[in-house]
Amino acid sequence: MARDRQVCRDCHRVVEPDTNACPSCGSTSFTDDWAGYVVISHPEDSDIASEMQVTEPGEYALKVR
C-alpha cells in the first residue's frame, strides 16, 4: 500500500517521500498524516474527482491532517 508515501497538504496528491514539489499543484507542503486512498483515472467522468476538485489523474488521499 502507499502508506510509506507523503501527501500534498494543498491538493491531496499522494507522492513519493523524496518529492520536492507536488507535480499537480507545485506546493512544497507535505504530510505523512493522512487517511483514505483513491485512484482517479478519468477525473472528467468522476463524481469523486469533482467533489475533491481533482482535474488530473493520479492517487489522492481522502483525508489530510
8 labelled as ligand-binding? yes
27 labelled as ligand-binding? no
33 labelled as ligand-binding? no
Instruction: Give DSSP secondary structure letters for 1-65.
Output: --TTSEEETTT-BEE-TT-SS-TTT----EES-EEEEEEES-GGG-HHHHHHT--S-EEEEEEE-
22 labelled as ligand-binding? yes
Annotated binding site for Zn(2+): 8, 11, 22, 25
Annotated binding site: 8, 11, 22, 25
